[in-house]
Amino acid sequence: MKSRKRKKRRVIWIIILIVLIAFSVWVYWENTSIQATQISISSKKILKSFDGFTIVQVSDLHNAEFSDDQNRLLSAIKDVSPDIITITGDLIDSRHTDIKKAMKFLNGAVAIAPVYYVTGNHEARVDEYTELETKMTNAGVIVLRDESTTLELGGNFISLLGLDDPSFTMKEDTSGDSEAMICAKLEDILSKENGYTILLSHRPEFFDVYVENGIDLVLSGHAHGGQIRLPFIGGLVAPNQGLFPKYYEGVYKEEQTTMIVSRGLGNSIIPVRINNRPELIIVTLNIT
């Protein structure tokens, strides 16, 4: 009788061990396997020469590594043959900043396509950001800090706008003041622009401000996909949005504005993603 009980306990422990190993392997894969998400955007304001224009969005890398010299990430980008690469903040992590790692990725990226970058809240937290920005611009990255540039193709134009993260000028918990500041900045930038507008902004929680200013397409991040995605519920928690965030991944539309929120590629305070693979966004513009 005792022998049977011992065997039964042994079998139970073996099953538990197998389940734990399988779960650990799944979590490791979930945190290291890049998911490429294809999103098609159509608009009457997109002119003919930009039909099929491809944008890769990289967000919230947080100094994460995808093989030596970021080869897996760079290969995934190169396979798409993008017209431009956009980086929507938190390239580095303020808790373990590594500029050399960041530059390995950027040097590889600029060899694929023009790279446009905006800051995130983690860049605002570190003294090394000035050094990083200098190295980025020297490498050929176009840094947009509350300014715009023009994309030209076949005689047609798109306005590409970039917002600095509000953490550079005010505390992260002053959301009302941040909204007013972002609105004022957008009004100033847009006064010089017309046609189809694409905004790079780290923060999705200011979607109402983007809608109010009539931005056509917003590329954002920051929410890390809710970190843990629950079936039938969605993301669990996001910075500056708290529990069960409204904007944590995917496409959001209101009036003429479409916002794409990337789940990002790396982690920060919470070191593990659950049901939430690192994401590379591929946006294709189409005429209607």
Q: How do residues 151-168 score in pLDDT, each as one tens digit? A: 999 999 999 999 999 999
Inform me whether the pLDDT recorded for 271 exceeds 70.
yes
Per-residue model confidence (pLDDT) at position 8: 79
pLDDT score, position 4: 74
pLDDT above 70 for 171: no
Q: What are the strands of the beta sheet with 217-220, ordered from one edge?
A: 147-153, 156-162, 197-200, 217-220, 257-261, 250-254
Least confident of 70-79, 125-134, 173-182, 250-259: 173-182
CA distance 22 to 204: 35
> Would you state the pLDDT for residue 5?
72
How do residues 106-121 score in pLDDT, each as one tens digit? 999 999 999 999 999 9
Per-residue pLDDT for 142 more than 60? Answer: yes
**Tokens at residue 241, please?**
């949005």
Considering the chain, what is the average pLDDT of its residues? 93
- 171 vs 178: CA distance, rounded Å: 9
Split at pLDDT 50, 70, 90, the class of 85 is very high
In the chain, domain spans: 33-287
What does the CA dihedral 80, 84, 85, 86 come to, rounded to 10 degrees? -140
Higher pLDDT among residues 7 and 46, named by residue: 46
For 33-287, give the CATH class. Answer: alpha beta
**Cα three-residue angle 211-215-217, rounded to 5 degrees:** 105
| Rounded average pLDDT over 272-286 | 96
Q: Which amino acid is at 222?
A: H
CB neighbours of 206 closer than 8 A, spacing ≥ 6?
A: 178, 179, 182
Share of the chain above pLDDT 90, in %: 79
* Contact by Cβ (8 Å): 76, 34: yes
Write out pLDDT tens, residues 6-33.
Answer: 777 888 888 888 888 888 887 788 888 9
- The pLDDT of residue 177 is 79
What does pTM read for this prediction? 0.92
DSSP class of residue 6 equals: H
57 pLDDT band, cuts 50/70/90, is very high
* Type and span of the H or E element at 32: helix 2-32
Q: Where are the beta strands (DSSP E) in 44-144?
A: 54-58, 84-88, 115-118, 142-143
- Say whether pLDDT at 88 is over 70: yes
**Each residue's pLDDT tens digit, 200-210:** 999 999 999 99
The two three-digit tokens of residue 32, written as one number: 């290291």
Residues 6+ apart with CB under 8 A from 191: none
What is d(CA 210, CA 259) in angstroms, rounded to the nearest whole number?
9
